[in-house]
C-alpha cells in the first residue's frame, strides 16, 4: 500500500512540475546537473 501512495505522490509532483516548468522530474534534474557541471568548469 505504501508503494502505491508513494507512486501517486511522485506522479502528482511530476504533473505539477510539468505544468510549472514544462519539464518532467528527470529532465529538470539533468538540466540542473548540467548547469552545476558547467559552473564547476568555469570556476577552474
Q: What is the 3-state secondary structure (H, E, C) of the chain?
A: CHHHHHHHHHHHHHHHHHHHHCCCHHHHHHHHHHHHHHHHHHHC
Render pLDDT for 1-44 as a digit per residue (tens, 0 to 9): 789 999 999 889 888 888 887 777 777 788 888 887 887 666 55
pLDDT, residue 3, reads 92
* Largest pairwise CA distance in the chain: 48
| Separation between Cα atoms, residue 32 and residue 35, nearest integer Å | 5
pLDDT of amino acid 42? 62
Q: Cα–Cα distance between 21 and 14 in angstroms, integer?
A: 10
22: DSSP letter? S
Q: Is the pTM of this model over 0.85?
A: no
Amino acid at each position: 500500500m505504501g508503494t502505491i501512495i508513494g507512486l501517486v505522490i511522485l506522479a502528482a509532483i511530476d504533473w505539477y512540475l510539468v505544468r510549472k516548468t514544462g519539464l518532467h522530474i528527470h529532465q529538470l534534474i539533468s538540466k540542473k546537473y548540467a548547469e552545476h557541471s558547467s559552473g564547476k568548469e568555469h570556476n577552474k
